[in-house]
Chains A and B, each alone.
Chain A
Amino acid sequence: MVSIDLDRAAVDFPIFDAKTRSLKKAVLGRAGGRIGTESKVPIIEALRDITISLRKGERVALVGHNGAGKTTLLRLMSGIYEPTRGRASIKGKVAPVFDLAVGMDPEISGLENILIRGLFLGMTRKQMDSRVDDIAEFTELGDYLQMPLRTYSTGMRVRLALGVVTSIDPEILLLDEGIGAVDAEFMAKARNRLNELVARSGILVFASHSDEFLAELCDTAIWMEHGTVKEHGPLREVLAHYKGRDVLAEIEAR
């Protein structure tokens, strides 16, 4: 059974070395979450009062301005943060794709990095061994796969990471924006693989600023603002309210 249930969940970050306690909420509140100064240690309320229930088959877009809490919400859903208030229940294997570079060791070869990245994403050794040829072929890195990662260009590293990340079998796939620093031709190839990955996934939550990408992969949306859920419904409506115009209609017209 695959599910994500958040019940009035909140994420509060304690700030231990903040010297000044008299920060005006208005100054910083505009971009980020609310700052609470009542307790002895100042905290930042990154998320509050989040109540969301997701089930298998849902493809959810996550939209909102920078600092609204999208990444924090993804981390809450992945289990990296357990809620400081409220409850969270996540069932199923989570594959978080937030930063393509994390877990990569520049000193070891591309092939070894594939193995490690896969292990980090919850695959077993056997599963990775059976997929490694497929990934190697997809990345088009050839002999470079035997070379240490530090000899790779940024684009090559992204290709390697994308290759691994799209080969897993996630029950819950959480994608954070910013996974597209590759050349256009490769991106087209990666898009198909990404679509296949999403089709294999139980639940998808995708944070992005790209309307086309969201329209292609998602059918519902959550709009985050100042750490709370402002709206949660069908993609078309939420995007229209968020952007102020019917974005989906524009995309379909193209």
Chain B
Amino acid sequence: MTTGDDRAEDVASVDPFATDPSNPRSWKRAFRDIGLGWRQRALWGYLGWQDIKQRYRRSVLGPLWISISMGVIATAMGILYGALFHEDIKVFLPYVATGLLIWNFINGCILEGSEVFIANEGLIKFLPAPITLHVYRLVWRQTLFFLHNLVIWLLLVIVFPQPLSWTVLLAVPAFLVLGINGAWITVLSGILATRFRDIPPIIASVTQLLFFMTPIVWSYERLKSNPLAAYVELNPVMHFVEILREPLLGQEIVWRHWIVVGAITVVGSAVALVCLRNYRSRVAYWV
């Protein structure tokens, strides 16, 4: 089959399959995918940044455009619901705005996460790359959007001073935890969505529902007297929003939320890892 006797020794000496796990469904390949994806951060870092620039290309306001559009929505909602619920604007507007910008990050990760491999079908079929590359790019893109929108928070905190303390530093680990959760949700929903195309629309409906069940435009504190309010705690997104919103607004840190988020992170990551191990190699076939 192969030509040339001089190469016979080459083929005979080493069994190529001895060192390489030839089973596509292996932990080694799953972790190798994650590691290789991370090592290509020059690529997905640049692409994620291009995704942002895309949004304000040929616009007059430039990157400010992203922050302003978010700011307008936050202000409108804050004033509207503030009037409806008789809330003090000085407190409520920053509350709504911060909640919204955290929600945008979570929502972006969940919605775009479910479609991440479907949207990158061309790249997946033409260029061999770890599938986690697309996951990193998505989370990075959402992070950049969040940072753009953080300008709103900064503005509001200056105009309506909040009781900030050293706890504001907790925002950094809180955001990192959010990022990790964004990643495992993207892996899990992305892989399943390539196989079952109903998943993205179902997820879209669920997240719409989640928005109203999460205390963003309404205050959880206000409704604590209502016995049904405890059910709000069943909404996992509520805890994610709280761990980042509390430090950003100088509110009291409720550690219960961190524990819930920690548990979700561990369980979710484990499930996503199993899914990655089993179906990583199938994504190119399913997409």
Chain A contacts to B: CB under 8 angstroms: 3, 5, 7, 13-14, 16, 51-53, 55, 75, 78-84, 87-89, 91, 94, 96, 98-99, 102-103, 105, 107-108, 112, 115-116, 119-120, 124-125, 220, 232-234
Contact = CB atoms under 8 A, between A and B. Distances in A.
A232 B2 CA distance: 7
A102 B17 contact: no
A96 B17 contact: no
A105 B123 CA distance: 12
Given A14-B285, A53-B2, A116 B46 contact: yes
A3 to B, nearest CB: 6
Contacts of A79: 128
A77 to B, nearest CB: 9
B124 interface: yes
Given A5-B16, A81-B285, A51 B126 contact: no
Contact of A115 (B22, B40, B46): B46
Given A14-B285, A81-B284, A233-B3, A94 B128 contact: yes
Chain B interface, >50% SS class: helix
A14 B196 CA distance: 13
Given A5-B16, A83-B24, A89-B17, 8 more contacts: A75-B125, A80-B125, A84-B285, A96-B126, A96-B127, A98-B126, A99-B126, A120-B43
Chain A interface, >50% SS class: mixed
Interface of B: 1-3, 7, 10-11, 16-17, 20, 22, 24, 40, 42-43, 46-47, 50, 54, 57, 122-129, 281, 284-286
A88 B22 contact: yes
Given A80-B127, A96-B126, A125 B20 contact: no
